[in-house]
């Protein structure tokens, strides 16, 4: 009888090891899938930096006007924010209130 009990104990340990491996693999799979989902969600929600000017904001003839004149006349919020960090209304507010005599 003693040899049978040894077989039972070794089988039980093997089953426990297999169960542990299955649980560990499942945990790794969940962690990997969760990280991948978080990465995808972050990429979908991320806004482009918009730190560049679009074609409409570039000068058609750079020899005629200065870039500042073109930017000022465009009154484009995105161009103002890209170059100065403030929008058109804020810029004009500063001009009107900061430099008024």
Chain segment 47-60, per-residue pLDDT in tens: 666 667 777 777 77
Domain check: are 3 and 37 in the same one?
Answer: yes
Separation CA 11–CA 101 (nearest Å)? 93
The structure tokens listed for 35 are: 């990280």
- Does residue 40 sit in the same domain as residue 65? no
For residues 75 and 88, is the Cβ–Cβ distance under 8 A?
A: yes
How confident is the model at residue 91, as a pLDDT? 93
Residue reference for tokens 């560049």: 52
Largest CA distance in the chain: 108
pLDDT digit string, tens, across residues 5-45? 555 556 788 888 889 999 988 888 888 888 888 887 777 77
How many domains, the chain?
Answer: 2
Question: Are 87 and 77 a contacting pair, CB within 8 Å?
Answer: yes
Domain that holds residue 74: 55-98
- Pair 1, 42 in one domain: yes
61 with 42, same domain? no
Q: Is the pTM of this model over 0.85?
A: no
Q: Is the pLDDT of residue 92 over 60?
A: yes
What does the pLDDT read at residue 48?
61
pLDDT at 4 over 60: no
What is the rounded end-to-end Cα distance, in angstroms, of the chain?
108
């Amino acid at each position: 009888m003693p040899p049978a009990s040894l077989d039972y104990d070794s089988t039980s340990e093997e089953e426990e090891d297999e169960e542990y491996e299955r649980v560990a693999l499942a945990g790794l799979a969940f962690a990997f899938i969760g990280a991948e989902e978080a990465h995808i969600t972050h990429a979908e929600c991320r806004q482009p930096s918009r730190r560049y000017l679009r074609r409409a904001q570039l000068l058609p003839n750079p020899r005629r006007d200065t870039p500042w004149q073109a930017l000022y006349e465009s009154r484009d919020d995105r161009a103002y924010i890209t170059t100065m960090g403030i929008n058109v209304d804020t810029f004009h507010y500063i001009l009107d209130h900061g430099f008024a005599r």
